[in-house]
Amino acid sequence: MTQLHDRVAHQQVRGPVLNRSRPLGALALVVAAGLLVLSMAIALGVGSVPVPVPDVLAVVARRLGLGEFGVTVIDDRLIWQLRMPRVLGAAAVGAALAICGAVLQSITRNDLADPYLLGISGGAAVGAVTVIVLGVSFAGLAGSAAVGAAAFAGALAALVLVLALATGPGGSLPPARTVLAGVAVGQACAAYTSFLVLMTGDSHAARRVLTWTLGSVAGVRWDSAIILAVVAVAATLLALTAGRKLDAFAFGEVSATSLGINVTRLRWTLLCGTALVTACVVAFAGMIGFVGLVVPHMVRILTGPGHRLLLPMSALAGGLILVWADLLARSLVDGREIPLGVVTGVVGAPFFAFLLRRHREAG
Amino acid sequence: MRIETQSLAWRVARRTIIEDVDLVAEPGTVTGLLGVNGSGKTTLLHLMAGLRKPSAGSVLVGGQRLAAMPATERARTIAMVEQESSTNLDLSVRDVVELGRIPHRGRWSGSPDDPSIIEEAMGIAQVTHLSARRWQTLSGGEKQRTQLARALAQQPRVLLLDEPTNHLDLGHQLDFLTRVRNLGLTTVAALHDLELAAGFCDRLVVLDAGRVVAAGAVAEVLTGDLLRWVYAVRASVEAHPRNGRPHLVWDGPLEREEARHG
């Protein structure tokens, strides 16, 4: 009896820390944003030539027009021209993937939903592998730019195919069928890419394909970093405007409709929106697993399921985690890069196992 | 606010679920929706809540066509409590009640009087003391009262309830329906228990295979003939000696054929 009572009392207080208090939530956002900026400063200092954080901040402050600081030409070139695009790109990619994952998990009511859900990964791979293996140029581009453009085009083609397969009567987009269509298209794409790599590619091409599949922000230059940053900020703002509507899905689609949500329209907007954002990310950074899947779950433990806090926190946490993952990827082994997808997988998989245990105990 | 349906129909894959239903619920009254399982009660409620598009006919709320009403205005006018509701999210009772404010929220924030409305709704539904409890730890009755509080937080003019007393014991059934009755909202409730329906409703509407077979005041509708026809039971309805309410005395089941033609 006492045990039962204890159990009930325990369950009463259990729950996300930041769920109730709005000032606490705002404070958490400020802290997360501060941590992200600090982490980026640290990451900018790390490399073959280490630069202390104060010097890093001086370079960035001067470039942002905050005043003249004693900055050496070499530091400026190293920090601003070489490392900044990569660090900014990592933060933007992490934020974009995490926010897409959070939105997709809510709208499909599926804990396993990730940004590559709608055939994005398969389609992008078809484009990228075709260019890598056959060595063709794409859209007048060559090299890694051609791979990125082809991946983007492939992702969009796969998205169109998935939507065509999944659309039901009256333009509805039932989540279960959408996920299945994504799996079907993904399998077909995988068959094509495996065939191409094994039958026609040499070992060098196979290696490049594997590297691309594991993702990297090593190739991000200033122009792509700016595009990625704009995409990440736009995705976060758009997702925030849909936040209250996503809250309405807590008890499913009928309940969302009765709360005044146009379910079909919202689903189309968000599925297509997140797919476009993910396709952009894939074009510049390849496929980076686990961030979009795991980060929203991590954040939910802290913030609870309310989207007003969950979405911006996911974006910040995603950025934070990817900045550190990329830092590890380029600094753990001297002179060689560990693929980013390997690092996120090593960190993400144990966390996912922890989540499973937590679910089992709660259920 | 008055809600009515005019020649309402809903068909799916050539099967008729609701056909030619005319129903009127006057402002402030409680209308009971009766019928056997699968007679179309839930579908009719969904049509009246604007959750499904009618195949034919229309729903009028306060004289306005529901189909022409913007979704958020519809959600501020009509609130529905489903027969069962489930979520895999870790929500507190208060979180669930706050969902009812969604139709009133702007794009970015809540309206300033939200907390008082939420607390009032929780008070009426008697879930204030459960505020911090997690949804997954609630009993059936507590879940139902939480959903009622959520519906009230929508500040609706019309309340639609789908078998709201299904999982409740007798005491909680009486408590829940008394609470709903005292709200003074136009209420339409699908009910299984005929005695409860007789005790709490102003009017009854009986569905059979998607059509209305009887409608009117409780005493007019609830008769031995109707029970025999709709529920296939041999029974009589008598005024209870103490409070005068219709009281069912049943003798046993009938074969369907016998009930309709015997």
**Contact between residue A42 and residue B165 where contact means Cβ atoms under 8 Å apart:** no
Dihedral sign, CA of A215, A220, A223, A229? Answer: positive
What pLDDT score does A8 carry? 42
Rounded distance between C-alpha atoms, residue A13 and residue B90, angstroms: 12
Interchain contact, A247 vs B99, CB within 8 Å: yes
Chain A residue with minimal CA distance to B86? A251
Helix (H) or strand (E) run with residue A166 in it: helix A143-166
Contacts of A14 in chain B (CB under 8 A): 134
Instruction: For chain B, say whether A307 makes contact (Cβ under 8 Å).
Output: no
**Contact between residue A263 and residue A253 where contact means Cβ atoms under 8 Å apart:** yes
Q: Which residues contact B243 (CB under 8 A, 6 or more apart)?
A: none
Chain B residue with minimal CA distance to A111? B88
Q: Considering chain A, what is the average pLDDT of its residues?
A: 85
Rounded distance between C-alpha atoms, residue B136 and residue A301, angstroms: 16
pLDDT in tens, A218-244: 888 999 999 999 999 999 998 988 888
Interchain contact, B132 vs A15, CB within 8 Å: yes
What pLDDT score does A256 carry? 93
CA distance A241 to chain B (A): 6
Looking at the DSSP bridge assignments, the partners of residue B214 are B206
Dihedral sign, CA of B53, B54, B55, B59? Answer: negative
pLDDT band for position A49 (cuts 50, 70, 90): confident
Domains defined along chain B, listed by start:
3-222 (3.40.50.300), 223-262 (no CATH)
Looking at the DSSP bridge assignments, the partners of residue B161 are B81, B189
pLDDT in tens, B28-78: 999 999 998 889 999 999 999 999 999 999 999 999 999 999 999 999 999
Instruction: For chain B, say whether A306 makes contact (Cβ under 8 Å).
Output: yes
What pLDDT score does A3 carry? 42
CA angle in degrees (0–180, nearest 5) for A187-A189-A190:
65
What pLDDT score does B138 carry? 92
Interchain contact, A11 vs B137, CB within 8 Å: yes
**Contact between residue A116 and residue A352 where contact means Cβ atoms under 8 Å apart:** no
Dihedral sign, CA of A96, A99, A105, A106? Answer: negative
Beta strands, E only, B88-185 = 158-162
Contacts of A362 in chain B (CB under 8 A): 90, 136
Test mutation, B10, B66, B88, B104, chain A, max A CBs within 10 A: B88
What pLDDT score does B181 carry? 92
**Contact between residue B68 and residue B147 where contact means Cβ atoms under 8 Å apart:** no
Q: Which residues contact A231 (CB under 8 A, 6 or more apart)?
A: A92, A96, A277, A280, A281
Give chain B's length.
Answer: 262
Among partner residues B88, B102, B137, which is closest to A247 by beta-carbon distance? B102
Token readout for A349 is 């998989």
* pTM value > 0.80: yes
Token readout for B27 is 């402002």
Contacts of A17 in chain B (CB under 8 A): none
pLDDT band for position A20 (cuts 50, 70, 90): low
Rounded distance between C-alpha atoms, residue B187 and residue B178, angstroms: 12
pLDDT greater than 80 at residue A268:
yes
pLDDT greater than 90 at residue B244:
no
Return the higher-pLDDT residue of B67 and A17: B67
Phi, psi for residue B166 in degrees, rounded to 5? -55, -45
Test mutation, B47, B52, B107, chain A, max A CBs within 10 A: B107
Token readout for A235 is 């995705």
Contacts of A109 in chain B (CB under 8 A): 88
Average the pLDDT over each of A115-119, A258-262, B118-122 and give the range with the smallest value.
A115-119
Token readout for B152 is 């009230």
pLDDT band for position B2 (cuts 50, 70, 90): very high
Return the higher-pLDDT residue of B5 and A199: B5
Among partner residues A111, A252, A260, which is closest to B102 by beta-carbon distance? A260
